[in-house]
Structure 1
Amino acid sequence: MNTSVLRKVDATHAPSVPHQRSVSPDGEVPDDDIVAELCAALFSLLGRKDQRRQAEQYLRGLLTTRGRKSIRNIAAHLGRPGLEQSLHHFVASSTWDWQPLRGALAGYLEHTIAPQAWVIQPMHIPKAGKYSVGVDEQFAPHLGQVVRGQQVIGAWLASPTVSAPVNWRMVLPESWVNDPERRARAEVPERTAPESAEECAVSVALQMARLWNIPRRPAVLDLRRCDIGAAARSLASGGVPFLARISPSSPLSVA
């Protein structure tokens, strides 16, 4: 299941803004021009004025709200009547398409940080509830243990000094795919099938290569627990150069 830069992923894991600046101790963003530049580059793609306004409010709230970046906390920090409801609608059920915004973010970062690689890796989001999308006990290869929560695959554009996330895909286990009640409650599309973390990682790289107008960089990813031949063929067919970590027991031959 795809997740958005601005929605359907815990706000604490939303992408950072480039230019290597920091938030001051009082929670205020020091350089408003950079935020305005980023908002103009991304949110001009939104079709409605109210969506552009809410997107900017949400981004500024993520940057300046201290503590947990929930919709309620962001709305309280910005201190505007009715903002919690409008932001919740914007993040959860508005009609804007997140895919062009991700591509625009990647294009913006291409010009600001000069990335040399796409680093694709898993991230675990601890959760105890039953109905949060994708929550289950899953093996987290980056942690080396079984954990309960959501697992997402993220892609970072990385240079020697800066990295920034631009793409996300949630690992949806079979327990979710085969549970009609939870699928319906979370509005999981009918076409969604279970994927391993490694299959998600390959899908993330191929999506970036096929749909985004950015230079193709080497994808750095972990393929120890999947069919390496199938993954390599998929990446090669998509024109994605890659550097993969594989199991020591994997047989190799030189072509």
Structure 2
Amino acid sequence: MRLNNIPQDKQFASTLAKGLEILLCFKPDEPLLGNKEFVARTGLDKTTVSRLTYTLLQLGYLRHDAQLSKYRLGALVLSMGYPLLASMTLRQIARPLMNNLANEVHGTVGIGIRDRAEMVYMDTCRVEDGNAPLIDIGASMPMLATAIGRSWLARAEPAEREMALNQIKVQYPKLFAEHAHNLPQALHDFATYGYCTNHGYIDRDRLAVAVPMTKPVNSEIVVFNCVVPSSQATTPDLPQRIGLRLVTLVRSVEVALGLR
């Protein structure tokens, strides 16, 4: 539970943190949640959850479905994220290049940044059949189990990487135990080739390749990834071909942004 680790700091507004954690309980496949689910996922007591959901409802961050007695996210949550996305000129510069690569490999190309123990997508371009997993803006993936997350870890400074790994270990101990052994290989691949690879987290029949930008953008380590069906792997050099192509895309974006 996220709220087990609230900092013991007089400057830390714990009530605000609890309200935000309520909003973070929603998932794409769970758009409707009730107070019972919030209690289970946050560890807060019923009275606190009831007070928080009432406040978030009045402010417009939640909508109430009277028929089901559950809550949905309100439009205000979407409005909050727009200034962040609109201010990222990186997206406008990268999108044509991402579209070209997605068409070329018949896959999905995305951009991700870190959100605590996860990577969240700030943009995607998808050219795949309807059976492929839909990864859209705002979707999040666990760092340690994905190429995009391991690429971030490989690019981070050692101290920053260690802090992120500690957070993952606390929040997702089972996932950490299952995937921590893959990190040394990811660090080696990044140092040797400039990219990390992994079979898809959602679908093991998909190949994921990820490349971080050389320099931070708005103080964020930004990572590009490309995911294709493994059925395309008619030759063993598919990871290398996509990896080199993705490296070229990232370097082109860096030049356009004046980072090289």
Q: Please indicate the TM-score interval, normalised by the length of the shorter structure.
A: under 0.3
Q: TM-score, structure 2 length as denominator?
A: 0.27
More helix by share: 2
Which structure has the higher relative contact order (CA within 8 Å, separation 6+)?
Answer: 1
